[in-house]
Chains A and B, each alone.
Chain A
């Protein structure tokens, strides 16, 4: 049994090393991709409950089969304007490892495109500058049909420490605003 599992994971690693599969999606008009192994599920956008006193990039929380899952507005997280929810909007659910086990987090994206197989030869390290998003959010750049797609470093983009810290800051900012009124 354990042999079998080991072989399977070994297989998965092998695939990743040879030809990685990536989910591409649009944020605004830009294409981004994440490794398919990080993605747990893609769901339609449904009733999102907004959470007060949080920064813009926290879109809200949803009910996923009885669990409450936070949803991050990826556009706002990448320092763009908040995304407008349209009928093409989707939530990509990814699992983020924490010290207390993994937690599901949803990423609000404007459109989910396709799953691409990208050979390692086409993947290049992130440039030191030249993109308008934080360099530590970029895992690598993938060349697909002579167009570069940014592969997002999920662990950085959805870093729980950072998300929870910033929500705190935003709160104090709001207090300041409320205070100065």
Chain B
């Protein structure tokens, strides 16, 4: 039972992946309808799902996928064209298949619900119903092709070159009989007899054959058959058969269509599509071998080159075959390089690596404390190893964000149809990597933000045209790395945020009071407050005012932040900034009094000495002059423990941190330097604590807290400037 369950899990996983691939393929077909590789992958997806469902006896799935598969098979063979309508039906079919699979997995034995069955039948009708008309269309196009091909040109003939050897007559060969026999296969358009080696006068031996023939031959026969005509003569004659150019295209297509499950040799590939016969290849290989033997040092010419030189195959065919071969190699290489690993195992490994980092820090501390110089070298090299193990282990969990992004193509497509808007999604930076655990958690907030952009942001085509914008709206998804963080941007060219509307709503909801003087940025940030929606009417997509606060909360739970940037009438850009990983970071350890804190190293810009002579210290205003720029600072010890400033300050340092565009200084007593920081969650008790994001265990077993730089800056800003009205009774 459990084995079957395990197999079912694998089936479910595989099916899900296949369906995701299928969706991607379908969406890419919308722009590139002729990509045979994509059509193949569609077919394979349906075929594989049908096969595996059959194994488990899920007849409903088999029945449905079979229909879809046959349609796709027709498309693959060019019997049916693919258009937007078919893609639409296929997308629905994909969804239907997913539903069927879910049904079969959850309620194994139960019959299909009527609605599901009806959906299936409707889709099958749509899939197959159009087929008849399509067939007619494709018949037409075939006829057209034949008519077009009716024009005879030299290019369209087989070129056969026969170079009989001198002994041909003596061996009982009659060149004429071969040529006559050739007629039975097709029409000889032109025949050229050449005698380049014909000696003059008495030197000519009438019993020897000096004649060579070049034949332009029109036939539907394949190369193999044509070659078979000269089978007997092969010992006494050099036969070269060059396929007509019209065939070339066919060969190229066949080459493309070859399955790429294993790398084949160039010769085999060409033989398989019919461009070459085995004889040609053997011949070419022999001459290749001969060349190698003759010139020991020089590497043998590639087979392709020899084949072209011998005039048995055209250059483009060889090029195409080589390209295909290379593609297959790459594909196989990339397939072979993946190992499916249970995510929990990986998580366990990363936890262990975390403990390793802590233990190695402890060891370093002991080595340092006891002044063991000889152990120091070993410790240092181990330290380096540990940190590269750490980096590699974390990289294991890094995935590209592109997959997550491309899922939104479907969302945008469906939602824009539902809203009767014309919206295009542009994706960039899909190759940007981040931790899988982060990716999983960012999906919901992203979906929400994109739906928002589609529903609230982009106006209807009529409104857009009236505002002088193109009718088609655009939403851009972009991702890039910035100092240890990933920034994900969702930009739309819609109407932007209406500050007045937001203010009105916020006033009505009691979020702000009329006498508040808010900056544009602060007004925009109000949309993250709970219960605020500027959409007058709630739709089933968005507009209920729940969501943006959840989005912000979810992102903050990942130690990230959201920024909003909007110009009314021009669009809105929302930037999400997330840490790359939730497990281990490079930290910078500082100390105030007895306490030690970690600042994420990626945010540390520089460290300077707090010196009254160099910096204009202003004890009341709390800012210093950093090379001509105003740098506000926070005295960590005072801020955290609310101590009265000590008059006899020790030598202090300022750690300049940078977060996005904001710079600030943290004044600390001591700088301890870089520290590999394994992030330990602080747990539920401290979940609302601002300014601290987590903790770490130091080498000496003590706990140090990790500072939330942005949280600190924000709360410092709010306590300094805003006089925090919300807290006043």
Contact = CB atoms under 8 A, between A and B. Distances in A.
Chain A complexes with chain B:
yes
Interface of A: 46-47, 49-54, 58, 61-63, 66-70, 98, 100, 103, 105, 160, 163-165, 167-168, 171-172, 174-179
Nearest to B727: A172
B702 A178 contact: no
A63 B695 CA distance: 10
A103 B642 contact: no
A179 B690 contact: no
A174 B642 contact: yes
Given A51-B689, A52-B692, A62-B703, 20 more contacts: A47-B701, A49-B695, A49-B702, A49-B703, A49-B705, A52-B595, A58-B685, A66-B355, A66-B697, A69-B683, A103-B683, A103-B685, A160-B685, A164-B688, A167-B685, A167-B686, A168-B689, A171-B689, A175-B718, A179-B723
Contact of A103 (B684, B705, B718, B719): B684
15 contacts: A49-B595, A51-B705, A52-B640, A53-B691, A61-B703, A63-B701, A66-B680, A69-B683, A70-B685, A70-B686, A103-B683, A105-B685, A164-B685, A174-B642, A175-B724
B639 interface: yes
Nearest to B704: A49
Contacts of A179: 719, 723-724
Contacts of A100: 684
Chain B interface SS verdict (over half): mixed
A164 B686 contact: yes
A51 B724 CA distance: 23
Interface of B: 355, 358, 595, 639-642, 680-692, 695, 697, 701-705, 715, 718-719, 723-724, 727
Among all A-B residue pairs, the 10 with the closest Cβ atoms: A52-B640, A49-B703, A168-B688, A68-B695, A68-B680, A160-B684, A70-B685, A172-B727, A47-B702, A163-B685
Given A52-B641, A61-B695, A167-B689, A68 B684 contact: no
B402 to A, nearest CB: 31
Contact of B680 (A53, A67, A176, A178): A67
Nearest to B688: A168
Given A61-B703, A63-B703, A178 B686 contact: no
B701 A178 contact: no
Nearest to A160: B684
A176 B727 contact: yes
Nearest to A62: B703
Contacts of A174: 642
A97 to B, nearest CB: 11
Contacts of A163: 685
A100 B681 CA distance: 13
Contacts of A69: 683
Contact of B724 (A50, A66, A176): A176
A176 B729 CA distance: 11
The residue among A51, A67, A98 with the most chain B CB atoms within 10 A of its own CB is A51
Given A66-B358, A98-B684, A53 B690 contact: yes
B683 A68 contact: yes
B644 to A, nearest CB: 9
Contact of A51 (B680, B686, B701, B719): B686
A165 B684 contact: no
Contacts of B681: 68
A168 B684 CA distance: 12
Given A61-B682, A68-B680, A68-B682, A50 B642 contact: no
A69 B681 CA distance: 9
Contacts of B718: 175
A160 B685 CA distance: 6
B484 to A, nearest CB: 22
A51 B686 CA distance: 9
Contacts of A49: 595, 695, 702-705
Contacts of A167: 685-686, 688-689
A155 to B, nearest CB: 14
A164 B697 contact: no
Contacts of A63: 697, 701-703
The residue among A66, A68, A100, A176 with the most chain B CB atoms within 10 A of its own CB is A68
Given A49-B704, A50-B595, A164-B688, A70 B642 contact: no
B626 to A, nearest CB: 24
A52 B724 contact: no
B728 to A, nearest CB: 8
The residue among B681, B703, B727 with the most chain A CB atoms within 10 A of its own CB is B703
Nearest to A163: B685
Nearest to B636: A52
Nearest to A70: B685
Contacts of A98: 684
Contacts of A175: 715, 718-719, 724, 727
Contacts of B639: 52, 178
A157 B361 CA distance: 37
Contacts of B692: 51-53
Contacts of A176: 724, 727
Contacts of B641: 52
A164 B683 CA distance: 10
A70 to B, nearest CB: 5
A87 B160 CA distance: 104
A53 to B, nearest CB: 6
A179 B695 CA distance: 27
B642 A177 contact: yes
A47 B703 CA distance: 8
B620 to A, nearest CB: 10
A70 B683 contact: yes
Contacts of B685: 58, 70, 103, 105, 160, 163-164, 167
Contact of B689 (A47, A50, A54, A178): A54
